[in-house]
């Protein structure tokens, strides 16, 4: 008896948002980039290939094809890299997880959602505009609000304080675990397990 060949599973696209350039490397706005770098190191996936205005790495994780991507377009134009990647890899929006910083959450908080508004995050605004939907998972990493009267635009480009470094690393490690959970066990499991303050 002949068995039908099973349909190939759709790939996952994991996107970390940030700004390219050494001057921005350690800024709060580059929290998404930091998670992607940590994930690539953890999986031993080189992030070297340039494709559609992004640096990408491809591998399989527990049988699932996964593409890691860091847009090189600067935060406000992230969609110009993400939209063509989504099309090229034939990745359904529900298999794309976008990781980004969030002013409205305190540092030490990680929040995964299946969809929703952009809350003023310029990279997310660009992506939703370019792919014409808000229906895709996102991981928000809290960076807290700026102190005093500091302009948020200036604040997000500043580095984390030395006193915040340990908490920042804890968030990155938990975010890496959450991505692995998303890929292997699904969005609901990742939300139920990792949403909230880092342990």
By annotation, the residues acting in catalysis are: 29
Distance CA 99, CA 190 (A): 14
Is 174 in a helix, a strand, or coil?
helix
In the structure, how many helices (H) and strands (E) does the chain have?
Answer: 6, 8
Q: Treating both helix axes as pointing N-terminal to C-terminal, what angle do 79-88 and 122-131 enclose, rounded to 10 degrees? A: 40
Alpha helices by DSSP H, the chain: 31-43, 79-88, 122-131, 152-155, 165-185, 187-194
φ, ψ for residue 109, nearest 5 deg: -110, 135
**14 contacts 36 by C-beta, under 8 angstroms:** yes
Distances (CA, A) of 121 to 45, 60, 99, 118: 28, 30, 11, 6
DSSP state of 32: H
φ, ψ for residue 113, nearest 5 deg: -135, 150
């Amino acid at each position: 008896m002949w068995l039908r060949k099973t349909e190939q599973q759709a790939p996952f696209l994991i996107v970390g948002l940030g700004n390219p350039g050494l001057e921005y490397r350690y800024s709060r706005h580059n929290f998404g980039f930091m998670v992607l770098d940590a994930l690539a190191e953890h999986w031993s996936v080189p992030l070297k290939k340039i494709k559609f205005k992004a640096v990408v790495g491809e591998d399989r994780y527990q049988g699932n094809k996964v593409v890691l991507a860091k847009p090189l377009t600067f935060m406000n134009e992230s969609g110009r890299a993400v939209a063509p990647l989504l099309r090229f890899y034939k990745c359904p929006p529900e298999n794309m997880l976008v990781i980004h910083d969030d002013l409205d959450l305190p540092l030490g908080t990680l929040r995964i959602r299946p969809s929703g508004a952009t809350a003023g995050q310029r990279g997310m605004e660009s992506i939703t505009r370019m792919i014409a939907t808000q229906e895709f998972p996102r991981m928000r990493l809290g960076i807290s609000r700026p102190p005093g009267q500091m302009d948020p635009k200036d604040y997000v480009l500043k580095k984390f304080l030395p006193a915040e470094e340990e908490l920042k690393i804890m968030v990155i490690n938990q975010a890496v675990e959450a991505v692995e959970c998303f890929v292997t066990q699904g969005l609901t499991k990742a939300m139920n397990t990792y949403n909230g303050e880092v342990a």
